[in-house]
Amino acid sequence: MGNRPGPAIPAPLFGAPDRMRGLLVGAVIAIVAAVTRFWDLSHPTDQGTPVFDEKHYVPQGWQVLTGGNWIEDNPAYGLVVHPPVGKWLLAASESVFGYGPLGWRVAPAIAGIAIVVLVYCTVRRLSRSTLIGAIAGVFAICDGVLFVQSRMGMLDIFQAAFVVAAFAALVADRDQVRARMHRVYLEGRMGDSPYGPRLGFRWYRFTAGVMLGLTCGTKWSGIYFVIAFTLLAIGFDVANRKAYHVERPWRGVLRRDFFPAGMSLAVMPVVIYLATFIPWFNSETAVYRYEVGNQIGTGGPFSWVPGAWRSLWFYEAGILEFHAGLTNSAGNHHPWESKPWTWPMSLRPMLYAIENGPDQCGGGECVRAQMLIGSPALWWVALPMVAWGLWRWLVRRDWRYAAVLTAYGAALLPWFGDLDRQMYFFYATAMAPFLVMGVALCCGDLLRSGAAAARRRPERRTLTILVVAIYVGLVVTNFIWLWPILTASPISPEEWHQQIWLPSWG
C-alpha cells in the first residue's frame, strides 16, 4: 500500500530536526530561568514570616514534615482544604533548607523552572522549530505570573507544572502515534483492518495520566484538565486515523483507543488522587480520620461502606462545603479579589506584600511591594491570540491551536460557572503557560508568512522578522520594568506610582 499511488498522507514530521541545537538552546533557557527564579529568593517576607497565602500552606507543609505521618493531623495549623501533594513538595523543600524563606520557596522555584523548560520543549515540538520554542521559553521566563508564583510558597505553581507536563506528554504522544501509523503505512498494513492498527502501549499517554493525577492531588481544579485533556486525546486519536485514511476512524478509536485512553487519562488520575491519601488512612491522628460514630452515624444505607472510606467522604464533603460557602452573597469579600473576565488581560492583579522604609529612595521612604501581575506585553494580547487561534483551529484546522486553546479554556472557563464565589487572580496561574504558548505560535505564524512571501516580496520577510524581534524585545523590556514590583525591590514612592498603569491595579 505504501508503494502505490493513493490519497495524500501527512509528512513524517515528528518534532524539530535540529536536536543538538535544540538541546543547547534549552540548556541556556533553563539556566536563565534558574537565575531569575533563585535571585534573592528569600525576599520578601513579613518580618521573616510567610506573606499572603504562604501563611496557610507553609505551616501546613512544615506540619506534614514534622508530624511523623506525612499528613496534616493538627487543625490548629489552618484549614485543611486541599489535597496533600503540593504540601508534600513544600515539606520536602523545608526538610532540606529548613523552616525559612528558602525552605518554603525552593520547591516552587524548581517547579517554575520546569514550567519554562516544558513550555520551550512543547512549543518546539508544536511548531517544529527551535526558534519558536526559544521565543516561547523567553516569554515564559518574562511572564510576571509565572515568575512571582515560582517564588511563593503556594500550591498553584505545582499544579501548573503538573498540567504543563501532562500537556507536553499528550503532544509527544500524538507525535509518537503518528510515527507508528506512518510505519504501518509504509509496511502496507494500513488496510488490514477497517479500524486501523493497534498502537501498543502508549507511555506518553500513561505519563499524562500520572501528571493529571498529581494535578488533582494538588488542587481540585485539576479535574477540569482531566476532562479537557481526555477529550483532546480522543480528538488526536480520531485525527490520526483520519489522516492515514482508516476506513472507519471513529469506530477504530472506539475499539482501539477509547478504553486505554479512559484508563490512562480518566481512571488513573482518580486512583492516584485516592492514593495520595494513603498516609491519611494509615494515620491514627489525621484530620477527620475517625468520624463514624462521631459526626457520622453508624447506620443508614451506606453502613456497609468501611468506616475509613466514609470518614474520607465526610472530609471531602466538608472541603466542598467550605469552598461553596466562600461567596460574595454570604458576605465574603477581599480587597484584592477578582472575577475571571478580568484574568485574560490581568486587569485586577494582587498585592502580595508591601512595606515602607526605613531607608531612603528619592528623598522619601523606600517602597517594597510585590504584586502578582501578568506582563502587559503578553497578557494584553490574550484576546487577539484567542481570536487568531480560534480562526486557525476552526477554519484552517490547525491542531496546534486546538490543543493550546483547549488547555487555556480548561484553566479559565470553568470559573464562570459560579461567579458569586470569592476568586483571586492567582487562580489564573495555570492559564499563563498556555497564553505564552499561543502567543509564541502567533509569532511563528507571522515569521512563516514572511518566509512564504519572500520570493515575491523579499522585504516582507525582513519586516516580519523585525516585527517579531521588536515584540520579543518589548516583552523582555516590560519584564525588566516590572522587576521591582515582582521582587519587592526598594523603589521610591514616585517609581511605585509609575508602576501602577491602570486604576484597577491599585
- 1 band by pLDDT with thresholds 50, 70 and 90: very low
Closest by CA to 37, choosing from 114, 102, 91, 109, is: 109
C-alpha to C-alpha distance for 236 and 109, rounded to whole angstroms: 33
The residue with greater pLDDT, 493 or 433, is 433
**Average per-residue pLDDT for the chain:** 91
CA pseudo-torsion sign 185, 234, 230, 128: positive
For 369, the enclosing helix (H) or strand (E) is strand 364-372
**CB proximity list for 322: less than 8 A, separation 6 or greater:** 79, 81
Q: What pLDDT does residue 223 have? A: 96
**C-alpha gyration radius of the chain:** 25
- 480528538: which residue's cell? 235
Number of other CB atoms surrounding residue 83 within 10 Å: 24
Task: Answer whether 277's CB lies under 8 Å from 312's CB.
Answer: yes
| Per-residue pLDDT tens digits for 206-236 | 999 999 999 999 999 999 999 999 999 999 9
| Per-residue pLDDT tens digits for 113-147 | 999 999 999 999 999 999 999 999 999 999 999 99
Weakest mean pLDDT among 20-24, 76-80, 288-292: 76-80
For 157, the enclosing helix (H) or strand (E) is helix 156-186
Q: What pLDDT does residue 318 have? A: 82
User: What does the pLDDT average to over 187-196?
Assistant: 87
- 4 band by pLDDT with thresholds 50, 70 and 90: very low
- 2 band by pLDDT with thresholds 50, 70 and 90: very low
Q: Three cell numbers at 501?
A: 498603569
Q: What pLDDT does residue 188 have? A: 86
C-alpha to C-alpha distance for 350 and 134, rounded to whole angstroms: 29
Domain limits, the chain: 280-324
pTM of the model as a whole: 0.95
Does the structure show a pLDDT above 60 at 50?
Answer: yes
Q: What pLDDT does residue 320 have? A: 84
Does the structure show a pLDDT above 50 at 3?
Answer: no
For 240, the enclosing helix (H) or strand (E) is helix 222-243
User: What does the pLDDT average to over 74-100?
Assistant: 84
Does the structure show a pLDDT above 80 at 148?
Answer: yes
Does the structure show a pLDDT above 50 at 307?
Answer: yes
User: What does the pLDDT average to over 22-38?
Assistant: 97
Give the highest mean pLDDT range of 4-13, 41-50, 375-384, 445-454: 375-384
User: What does the pLDDT average to over 36-54?
Assistant: 92
Q: For 307, list phi and psi in degrees, rounded to 5.
A: -60, -35
